[in-house]
Copies of this chain bind each other. A is one copy, B any other.
Amino acid sequence: MTAPVVPPVAIVMGSQSDWPTMKRAADVLDQLGVAHDDRIVSAHRTPDRLHAFGKGAAGEGFKVIIAGAGGAAHLPGMVAALTHLPVLGVPVQSKALSGQDSLLSIVQMPAGIPVGTLAIGDAGATNAGILAASILALEDPALAARLIAFRAAQTGSVAEKPATQ
């Protein structure tokens, strides 16, 4: 009767509207065979849920947290304030400022509370998944092998010449 049902990665996002972006993190983790738990945790609309999630994340058994938000994006930094686990932040592309606000709100954390920030939008979400996998792979040789294969396949998929049609 086995227990370790807790996935190692939590993907949290500020709202449903962040999901099309954050799904990229979920997808690449699926591809790499890393389980994840996807949740909506709004720093602003559900601050108690945020507080409970952040304080409980390590105890729940999570190892890496991916947090995505847009605009005045406080979720990644606030989760990082509440846990000592590594937190990766994804700036979701915002409407008026194209994610420049999201990026600065996430990356410019003060000394003491880090958020490892990825690119604005889809690329950032995909990369948050890969970075989480690379962290977990440090102590998981099978995952390391899958990650190395993923990277090699990625390299192999780059054509030598641009295709004109």
Interfacial residues, chain A to chain B (CB-CB below 8 A): 13-16, 18-19, 22-24, 38-40, 42-49, 51, 54, 63-64, 70-72, 74, 77-78, 80-82, 84-86, 88, 93-101, 103-123, 126-128, 130-131, 134-139, 144, 147-148, 151, 154-155, 157-164
Contacts and interface: CB of A to CB of B under 8 A. Distances in A.
Q: Which 5 A-B pairs have the closest CB atoms?
A: A116-B116, A114-B127, A19-B162, A114-B131, A101-B104
Main secondary structure of the interface of A (DSSP, over half): mixed
Given A84-B134, A108-B120, A114-B130, 20 more contacts: A15-B110, A15-B158, A23-B164, A38-B162, A39-B161, A43-B78, A44-B110, A48-B155, A63-B138, A71-B109, A71-B123, A72-B109, A72-B115, A84-B147, A84-B148, A93-B96, A96-B119, A97-B104, A114-B131, A139-B139
Contact of A72 (B40, B105, B116): B105
